[in-house]
Homo-oligomer: A and B are copies of this chain.
Amino acid sequence: MAKQKPSVPKGTRDFGPEQMAKRTYILETIKDVYKKYGFQNLETPTMENLSVLTGKYGDEGDQLLFKIVNSGDYLKKVNADDLEKGAKHMLPKISDKGLRYDLTVPFARYVVMNQGTLSFPFKRYQVQPVWRADRPQRGRYREFYQCDADVVGTDSLLCEAEILAMMGEALTNLQITDHTIKLNNRKVLTGIAEAIGENGKESELCVAIDKLDKIGVEKVKSELINERGFSTSSVARLDFLFDLNGSTRTKLGKMKEFFQGNDNFLNCSLVGSEIGLKGIKELEEVLDFAEKLGVSFKNIEFDVTLARGLSYYTGAIFEVKVNNANMGSISGGGRYDNLTGVFGLDGMSGVGFSFGVDRIYDVLEELDLYPSSAVETTKVMLTNFDDQGRDYSLPLLQKLRNAGISAELYPDNAKMKKQMNFANKKGIQYVVLAWEDEMAQNKYSLKNMTTGEQNMLSADEIVDLLKG
């Protein structure tokens, strides 16, 4: 066999030591917050039955599922006719499993399978990779981590308030202080369609509004009129929303008037909306809870145009952006009323959110926010110039480790320069050297690789110094 030049599949990545250290720092920071708020860890299998996955992510999602060839004679159910009927027809005959596409559907499956033994409300977090056969491009991978937290089995709005607290706390702990947590409610979007006289058309409204950031107000309005069948007068009533300003509480007050059909401040008539008012009430209650929890409102903003994931969410909607980085949303979520209905368990309301690990990684790179402790490797390397020095250093090596200090001895006799390069490249902060002088005094020279400072110390002194 010819020697191959190996590679990884497109859209997938190796994570080497430095990347892993940074990724671990991000994930541990987020997990610590999840745990502090009472969430418990869940892991589900990489493979799911296609009967579980198919039909949950729309037609496009079904296309993007990675499917596993059945084990053994995978062609046993296939004949020439099947082949002629084509790939799509034949697929169910050769594959009954696929790779996890997100963490939500497996979570729903888990809840349904374990409904008899779980205690509700059930708070779970899950940090695992997912796979999508998307066309890879900058920032979009075929394998990437999701990092979800959900509460199911309660419709208490306290959960939404805690999500605001958790988002803020995780980002603050990651030093991403200049962020905005945008908040809306699906009922507000439903109410808007109703209030402007386009009852039942919130889906079309949201698809258009979702593009606001990209195409601007005028194009959104013309799309609504020309492509989505909204009347000119209905769309005129939206101006109020695009111009909404003031604090979050102020904006909520204005929206309340809007939904009450109070059009004193508008040039057009409104029909009002009960469900819109309910959405505003829910948002106010979430903020009241958040206030009692001591959550700072500095970074929280009610955004009436926030419309993500509409088909799925029924209450609160969240999205987080970093203000001083060139990046889309790094976190999002919302409330859903019927997570498990598709698996036969109705009435399981829940609310959840997720952090985008790859995006947070890039933001921390861009803003240079990784603490030095995040990328710490071996703390101290013991050099190895000859067998005598090596053997003299072995007891110190284990003494350091017994004190909990990460330490290694260069395993081969080698030249100074080679070993110093090795230590530098691995980011090791201290190096221990021992020649005749040191041995005669039962000491070691400790060199700080950052400052260049070098001192002759006893083993115990070195341990004490590096522990501190």
Contact = CB atoms under 8 A, between A and B. Distances in A.
Interface stretch (A17-25, A240-248, A451-459): A17-25
Interface string A223-267: 000000000000000000000000000000000000000000000
Copies in the assembly, this chain: 2
Contact of A74 (B12, B87, B114, B344): B87
A113 to B, nearest CB: 6
Contacts of A71: 66, 133
Interface string A48-91: 11011001000000000011110101111010100100110011
A404 interface: yes
A466 interface: no
Chain A interface size range: 35 or more
A159 interface: yes
Given A42-B17, A69-B67, A377-B40, A4 B343 contact: yes
A37 interface: yes
Interface in A84-114: 86-87, 90-91, 94-95, 97, 99, 109-110, 112-114
A269 interface: no
Contacts of A449: none
Nearest to A426: B119
A100 B12 CA distance: 13
A436 B299 CA distance: 35
B45 A13 contact: yes
A68 B64 CA distance: 13
A16 B95 CA distance: 27
A284 interface: no
B394 A49 contact: no
A51 to B, nearest CB: 6
A179 to B, nearest CB: 20
A274 interface: no
A412 interface: yes
A156 interface: yes
B41 A17 contact: yes
A151 B6 contact: no
A300 interface: no
B294 A395 contact: yes
13 contacts: A6-B113, A16-B110, A16-B114, A17-B124, A24-B41, A36-B401, A37-B407, A37-B408, A46-B143, A67-B69, A69-B91, A158-B411, A294-B398
